[in-house]
Structure 1
């Protein structure tokens, strides 16, 4: 018998976190699942910890492979999975006991192709919740949902249960040439199919911010190289959408995060920041996803005041 759900965990140097992750999966109220622990050539004890859990529970399958990065590791898990539904969990995060039950109940009761729950962000003592679908409304198209997910930077796979046949029948694969945002491209391809998506209005996935300095999914260097790379990502998104009317909205949503990420990093020159973002100066204000004060500072930075604001912020520290 094949399991109802395959949970894929791509692992690299996660020995300090992986036990909490696995324990949270084994504590699920929903029981019909397999856990695919994919060790991406970890040089620490991650692989041995996974092996010890596999000896205790037959639902756990461990695979050890050479280091190739998160995209290839997630794809490896997809290729080996046998469940009717697929979901990913990062090894330095954990989930609520009803995580799988609530998502599975949503897709089966509504005959949908994907179910999304809210994410709880934990950064030390600071805990916040991010809505899985911003301003969700019944009847919203999957491309509108994609735009809203991009708005709140929640287009990754870890809070989304997906029907496996959608992925495999369309031969969707993670692009291992991408070192970040490969999950955004993957989900863009999924949501471009105009699939049926349902929303679980509960925080069930715990994203632990900055917990693992070796994470293969959470490390991004926001610099000039990131700007060029993220433009390539945006062009990939637009090529998938192929001129759809929502493309302009997605450009605005994506650019607003690109501006804020590079503003926060303070690594670009005055001229570079203005040259890159002047035409998108209203994107941050339009998105409404940031405090008004930050939106105004980012807007002014795009207008040519980035160097001055960068200097003032440096002097205030």
Structure 2
């Protein structure tokens, strides 16, 4: 088996048939689709069973344990040499698996990352081409500066994923970034291609709620992951903390400064941008309008692109 496509599913009944149809229409025969119903309550699991007439589609049902656990279970059941992750409300474009497989075979990479488009036709930027230093990618991801896919629109050599799918279910946001960082900390050979292979559906509602407790757990896990290259990645880690702090302040949670971030961040290291230094230096009540203004400006710029 060449490729296993892992599809974690939780309450996405209106998207599943389209997702499966595009996967099974790929121009490769030696593939399988491993669908993991993570305890859905909206009929998603029953629909998966109804659609499982194709021998390439294997459906599994598990108690609800979260998306990372569903992906891990899917990888454990997978038979392919390479792994591709697809969210159930998204879809692969025609020829995507062939493009990814050819790239990883020809380059002998451990991971190949392509580009994507949104369901309304917006194309992701081409940020990198060819082989890229994994440390540079880690730095971009944790500092919130990545403009490339971190999990989907990519193909992984199965062996490189070992030990990278153990994130606790309490981490319900950014779990894909943490997983990719764990992979990259193994110093794999990563290759970027410019082909668009994935269609991402914007605006799908979710019930995720950010809490300080979850963010503290995320920071602990991230710091442990970065430990082997801490001196190189310390500034990027602090910038990650500052960006999360700014989100909390923008949402009106002023208490997080004294409840966690003052002690967690301490003295700012070199390499922190001026904007973030200014926001950090201001009291929360004064920094909040600055953050909101900055975000508005960024949104206007992105809209014009």
Q: TM-score, normalised by structure 2?
A: 0.80
Q: Which residues in structure 2 correspond to 1:1-317 (within 5 Å)?
A: 3-55=1-53, 57-122=54-119, 127=122, 129-131=124-126, 134=127, 136=128, 138-150=130-142, 151-152=145-146, 156-168=150-162, 171-180=163-172, 181-213=174-206, 219=208, 221-239=209-227, 242-243=228-229, 245-252=231-238, 254-255=240-241, 257-269=243-255, 271-272=257-258, 275=262, 279-280=267-268, 285=273, 296=275, 298-310=276-288
Shifted more, 33-42 versus 254-263: the winner is 254-263
Q: Aligned to 2:42, what secondary structure does the other structure show?
A: coil
**Cα pair distance change 1:138/1:99, threshold 3 Å:** closer
Q: Give me the whole-angstrom Cα distance separating, in 1, the residues matched to 2:138 and 2:157.
A: 17
The alpha-carbon distance between structure 1 residues 269 and 304, as it changes in their structure 2 partners (threshold 3 A), is farther
Q: Secondary structure at the match of 1:18?
A: helix
How big is the shift at 1:225?
Answer: 2.9
> C-alpha deviations, 1:178-201, integer Å up to 9, x for none?
423343333333222221111111
The structural deviation recorded for 1:268 is: 2.9
Task: Provide structure 2 residue ranges, at least 5 long, that are not aligned to the other structure.
Answer: 297-305
For residues 65-85 of structure 1, what are the alpha-carbon distances to aligned partners after superposition, in whole Å with 9 as ceiling and x for unaligned? 111111211111011000010
Judged with a 3 Å threshold, the aligned counterparts in structure 2 of structure 1 residues 268 and 127 are, in CA distance, closer, same or farther, namely: farther
Deviation at 1:90, TM superposition (A): 0.8
Normalised to the residue count of structure 1, the TM-score between the two structures is 0.77
Comparing 274-283 with 106-115, greater Cα deviation is found at 274-283
Could you tell me how far apart the structure 2 residues matched to 1:282 and 1:245 are? 12
* Cα deviation, residue 38, structure 1: 0.4
Partner of 1:289: none
CA distance in structure 2 between the aligned counterparts of 1:44 and 1:110, rounded to whole angstroms: 42
Q: Is the 8 A contact 1:174 1:182 kept in 2?
A: no
Report the RMSD for the aligned CA atoms in angstroms. 3.2
What does the per-residue CA deviation read over 1:122-170, in whole Å, with 9 as the maximum and x for residues that have no partner? 5xx5835255xx4x365532222222344327574222211113335xx
- 1:87 CA drift (Å): 1.2
Tell me the matched-pair count: 288
Residue 39 (structure 1) shift: 0.5
Secondary structure of 2:8's aligned partner:
strand
Q: Distance in 1 between matches of 2:34 and 2:73?
A: 10
How many Å separate the matches in 1 of 2:22 and 2:254? 41
The CA deviation string for residues 218-261 of structure 1, in whole angstroms up to 9 with x for no partner, is x3x3343344233223322223xx24543235325533542453
